[in-house]
Structure 1
Amino acid sequence: MKIEKILNNNVITVIDEVTKLEKVIMGRGLSFNKKIGEEIDETKIEKVFKISNPNENLLFQQLINEIPMEYLKISEKIISYAKEKLNVEFDEHIYISLTDHLTFAIKRLQSQEIIKNNLLWEIQRIYSKEYEIGLWAIDFIEKELDIKMGKDEAGFIALHIINASIFESMPNTMNLTEIVQDILNIVKYYFTIEFNENSISFDRLITHLKFFAKRVVTKAKVNYEELPFIHMVKENYKSEYNCALKIKTYVEKYHDYKIDDSELIYLSLHLHRVLSSFENE
């Protein structure tokens, strides 16, 4: 591999011979006493970053020049761990957003500036898997840097993981989380039930509401087939349908998203299925 750019003693870029895309290569002392165009010692390579978007790649290179190498390694380790645990591919922007976030989070802690995560309770409840990864991450950071972060920070890390897995911006993800929590409250108080948050039924409900909330946030529409049994649903599942109407009112009032009859019926049917499961558990 020949050096395309030298970012610092530990990070260089090369051009992939197959894709012709620029790759960022990291390794201790990788470019020490080296010049552009020279071959690198491939035994020193610790990590290869392939960011296909040229603008994102440039931002990533700029960030690398501003942060300690250890922070980049920690960020990459967290991302790899999250990919393995969730079995998903992430938006490659996470290499920039999470690394940048961790850098400033560490600076804030060193200056004893504590930022409260106002969505922590919702994140713990709605995105439990991502939150568990956040807890793993703050434990890993403490082991690597001897810096103790709190649960609020685990929540922030979880939000970055959520962003990258649903390919959304941070504001949209926060909005999405609030919508899911608000709808859960509507369902909870309408039916006067307490959710068993460790049950498969609750997991099904959360999964459906996440997809529903994403459509609300992005103003996307799903073309459901015409449901000829709309009157049957209204008659046989009156409670579920009336609850769905309350959700419709909330969404249209506060999030400017129109819910048509087919989506309303689909939501009613899903509520019926989930609530029936709760009764059987």
Structure 2
Amino acid sequence: MTSVAELLPTSTETHMQTIKKVLNSSVVLVEDERGVERVLLGKGIGFGQKAGTEIEATAGDRVFVSLDDADHRNLVELLAQIPAEFVELTRAIVADAEGEGLELDAHIYLALTDHLHFAAERQRRGLLVANRLAWEMRTVYPAHYEVGVRAVARVNARLAIELPDEEAANVAFHLVNAEVGKTGVDSLRVVQLIRAITTIVSNTSNVRVDRRDLNSSRFVTHLQFFAERFFAGRLLTSEDDFLFNSLSERYPRAVASAERVRAFVLKEHESTLPNEEVAFLALHIARASPE
């Protein structure tokens, strides 16, 4: 899904700019002396301000410039409709994530602010939607999920609402998708594929995925990297089938289970997994199987 707008941080240098529009108490639209329009995010930055006055972006403010006119209009319209408290919540959550070492693209401010606002509105209307991939997110992306857990607590305390615990997985989705260096990685497709594979493996072998078990945890980690390679088109392949043939003799049940996964991927994604990928999957299935 295409985001409403793509944002990029401007220079960290501070300079005076003229306010064109106050979107809310935490967001203002400004213009510099060259006529370049920017969006400034900062707690209370728009409070008591009005169009035509000058303002200076400080080091603590987030400054963004939109990429094109269409995106700019959408961005301004969206932020003008969302209460300032959601922008401030997003800033706090992003700061928490960055404190955990996550490097996030600027578009997280728009995507997460929009999501939090929508989630709060759903809760207030009693329209709760269960995230059936919460377990997979917690297992595959534990650092992102923990930030999500704290985010839910922060939102509930600030807004006096009760978002479900599973909402942490939704926050984690946005964090994963906004990570710098992971462009093109769709965390939803990744965890959906992982879930499908673990279901197949559980039904065709004696592996029971339990994140408290070391071998099981290694198995899920392997699936994470496999899924990311799969959707990025970087599957492992080799002309040497020694590992695949050896495992077929030594661990026939694990290989049979991996073959079921190969059949599933072919049917659902119209892609044939090479023997090397099937061999490594079988190896992890065998390793995660109780002796």
TM-score by length of 2: 0.75
What's the CA shift string for 1:150-193, capped at 9, x where partnerless?
Answer: 12322322222233244458xx5333322211211222233323
Q: Structure 1 residues 130 and 219, CA, compared in 2 at 3 Å: closer, same or farther?
A: closer
2:124 & 2:238 partners in 1: Cα distance?
56
Q: Structure 1 residues 208 and 5, CA, compared in 2 at 3 Å: closer, same or farther?
A: farther
2:207 & 2:49 partners in 1: Cα distance?
68
Q: Structure 1 residues 227 and 93, CA, compared in 2 at 3 Å: closer, same or farther?
A: farther
Q: Report the alpha carbon displacement of residue 59 of structure 1 after superposing the two structures with TM.
A: 4.2
2:40 & 2:49 partners in 1: Cα distance?
18
Residue of structure 2 in register with 1:73 after alignment: 88
Equivalent position SS for 1:7: strand
What does residue range 78-157 of structure 1 map to in structure 2 within 5 Å?
78-85=93-100, 87-157=101-171
In structure 2, stretches of 5+ residues that fail to align are 1-14
What's the CA shift string for 1:171-224, capped at 9, x where partnerless?
Answer: x533332221121122223332333312333332222212222344x3613353
Query: Which consecutive segments of 4 or more residues in structure 1 shift more than 6 A?
Result: none
Structure 2 counterpart of 1:184, one-letter code:
T
Q: Structure 1 residues 25 and 2, CA, compared in 2 at 3 Å: closer, same or farther?
A: farther
Residue of structure 1 in register with 2:255 after alignment: 241
Q: Report the alpha carbon displacement of residue 69 of structure 1 after superposing the two structures with TM.
A: 1.3
1:57 & 1:203 partners in 2: Cα distance?
44
Structure 2 counterpart of 1:212, one-letter code:
F
What does residue range 1-281 of structure 1 map to in structure 2 within 5 Å?
1-3=15-17, 5-8=19-22, 10=25, 11-13=27-29, 22=38, 24-30=40-46, 32-33=48-49, 36=52, 39-41=54-56, 46-50=60-64, 53-54=67-68, 59-85=74-100, 87-165=101-179, 166-168=182-184, 172-216=186-230, 218=231, 220-229=233-242, 230-272=244-286, 274-275=287-288
CA RMSD of aligned residues (A): 3.3
1:138 & 1:220 partners in 2: Cα distance?
34
What's the CA shift string for 1:108-132, capped at 9, x where partnerless?
Answer: 2223332333333443444444333
What's the CA shift string for 1:230-255, capped at 9, x where partnerless?
Answer: 43332233333222111101111122
Structure 2 counterpart of 1:79, one-letter code:
V
Residue of structure 1 in register with 2:11 after alignment: none
1:203 & 1:148 partners in 2: Cα distance?
31
Equivalent position SS for 1:98: helix
Q: Report the alpha carbon displacement of residue 74 of structure 1 after superposing the two structures with TM.
A: 0.2
Q: Structure 1 residues 191 and 105, CA, compared in 2 at 3 Å: closer, same or farther?
A: same
Is the 2:219–2:288 contact (alpha carbons within 8 Å) kept by the matching residues of 1? no
Structure whose residues are more often helix by fraction: 1
Q: Percent identity?
A: 26
Q: Report the alpha carbon displacement of residue 73 of structure 1 after superposing the two structures with TM.
A: 0.9
In structure 1, stretches of 5+ residues that fail to align are none
Q: Structure 1 residues 29 and 252, CA, compared in 2 at 3 Å: closer, same or farther?
A: closer
Structure 2 counterpart of 1:255, one-letter code:
H
1:208 & 1:16 partners in 2: Cα distance?
49
Q: Structure 1 residues 203 and 15, CA, compared in 2 at 3 Å: closer, same or farther?
A: farther
Structure 1 counterpart of 2:208, one-letter code:
E
Indicate the structure whose relative CO is greater, using CA pairs within 8 Å and at least 6 residues apart. 2
Structure whose residues are more often strand by fraction: 2
Q: Structure 1 residues 46 and 62, CA, compared in 2 at 3 Å: closer, same or farther?
A: farther
2:238 & 2:32 partners in 1: Cα distance?
46
